[in-house]
Homo-oligomer: A and B are copies of this chain.
Amino acid sequence: MSVVALSGGIGGAKLALGLYRSLPPGKLTVIANTGDDFDHLGLHISPDVDTTLYTLSGLANPVLGWGRRDETWTFMETLERLGGETWFRLGDGDLALHVERTRRLAAGQTLSQVIAAMAQRLGITASILPMSDDPVRTRVATTEGELDFQEYFVRHQCRPVLTGMDYRGAPGARPAPAIAAALADPALEAVIICPSNPYLSIAPILAVPGLRDMLKKASAPVIAVSPLIGGKAVKGPTAKIMTELGIPVSPAAVTDYYGSLIDGFILDQRDASLADGLKSTVKLADTLMNTLEDRERLARECLAFAKELKRP
């Protein structure tokens, strides 16, 4: 058996970790959003990929929720003293990943190759794939003008009111080479769309031409996990964005958004009363992932749901 997960950053990586720990080594493939990637201080930074790398290797910072544990901040403190740009916080250890990735990319390696090498170095037995080796950059239109995703997300902390988004470069991007094989694997048992922001984390992945079609042709059911609990996102701007875009902040809007792409939807049990209105086969579960056990339990529920939904 094998499983493919589509994931954005922190929330998605939590479930990816649960799946990673619930599956035999080598059986999980995570397709990570790279629409959030950006060039900063001359470095290629892949926030969602890195969160996945750190989460699966046990290096994620449990206090900050991003970056590495046991991190030091001498670089950032010094950069501030030198008048550099410090709105995007880069820990000293985190920086090593960005410097090494940038160096390898400049030497001609693909993002897939770089991530695979880093994952191996960190002892990760899952395949972590970028959605594409080609650059896709999420841009958000806001009432304060158009912004790069990280400008919006980190620098402005999602304060500007969103009026739209664009996944620049997506039309010409190709899925990362290993994605096709992962989704065509006859042993594939489930494709899990993690409870990441559908519009900012999953949409860029689905915007890569060919990827949506590969998902449709996969032999395993595609299951999305609701990113909302009680009309709110556990973390991040999902609910705020839905409101600003005029979308009802409800699981129904999410299932409508994924439409025929998904075969099943995991709804938080707190939202059980909303199950009837959903245009998808629904399974209730506790989707809140505070502990490691929560992540593993939700992963197992996803896998069990996939067995029930098995495509013909």
- Bound together, the chains give a CA A83 to CA B95 distance in angstroms of 14
- Bound together, the chains give a CA A68 to CA B84 distance in angstroms of 18
- Residues of chain B within 8 A of A71, CB atoms compared: 74
Asked if A256 is at the interface (CB within 8 A of a chain B CB), the reply is no
- Residues of chain B within 8 A of A157, CB atoms compared: none
- Residues of chain B within 8 A of A102, CB atoms compared: 42
Asked if A91 is at the interface (CB within 8 A of a chain B CB), the reply is yes
Measured CB to CB, the closest approach of chain B to A238, in angstroms, equals: 32
Pick the 8 closest A-B CB pairs, nearest first: A78-B96, A74-B92, A92-B92, A78-B93, A79-B96, A72-B74, A84-B100, A74-B93
Interface residues of A in 95-121 (CB under 8 A from B): 95-97, 99-100, 102-103, 106, 117-118, 121
Tell me if A42 and B93 are in contact (CB < 8 A).
no
Given A81-B121, A82-B121; A41-B99 close (CB under 8 Å)? yes
Tell me if A79 and B92 are in contact (CB < 8 A).
no
- Residues of chain B within 8 A of A81, CB atoms compared: 96, 121-122
Measured CB to CB, the closest approach of chain B to A41, in angstroms, equals: 5
- Residues of chain B within 8 A of A78, CB atoms compared: 68, 92-97
Measured CB to CB, the closest approach of chain B to A186, in angstroms, equals: 34
- Bound together, the chains give a CA A106 to CA B40 distance in angstroms of 12
Measured CB to CB, the closest approach of chain B to A175, in angstroms, equals: 26
Identical chains bound together, number: 2
Measured CB to CB, the closest approach of chain B to A223, in angstroms, equals: 34
Tell me if B106 and A42 are in contact (CB < 8 A).
yes
Given A72-B92, A93-B75; A42-B103 close (CB under 8 Å)? yes
> Contact residues of A with B, CB < 8 Å?
41-43, 68, 71-72, 74-79, 81-84, 91-97, 99-100, 102-103, 106, 117-118, 121-122
For the complex with contacts A41-B100, A74-B92, 11 further pairs of A-B residues with Cβ separation under 8 Å are A41-B103, A42-B42, A42-B106, A68-B78, A72-B92, A74-B93, A75-B95, A81-B121, A82-B96, A83-B121, A84-B103
Measured CB to CB, the closest approach of chain B to A78, in angstroms, equals: 4
> Of all chain B residues, which has the CB nearest A44?
B42
Measured CB to CB, the closest approach of chain B to A307, in angstroms, equals: 38
- Residues of chain B within 8 A of A42, CB atoms compared: 42-43, 99, 102-103, 106
- Residues of chain B within 8 A of A83, CB atoms compared: 100, 117, 121
Pick the contact of A79 from B76, B79, B82, B99 — CB < 8 Å? B99
Tell me if A99 and B118 are in contact (CB < 8 A).
no
Measured CB to CB, the closest approach of chain B to A304, in angstroms, equals: 37
- Bound together, the chains give a CA A99 to CA B42 distance in angstroms of 8
Tell me if B103 and A82 are in contact (CB < 8 A).
no
Tell me if B93 and A95 are in contact (CB < 8 A).
no
> Of all chain B residues, which has the CB nearest A102?
B42
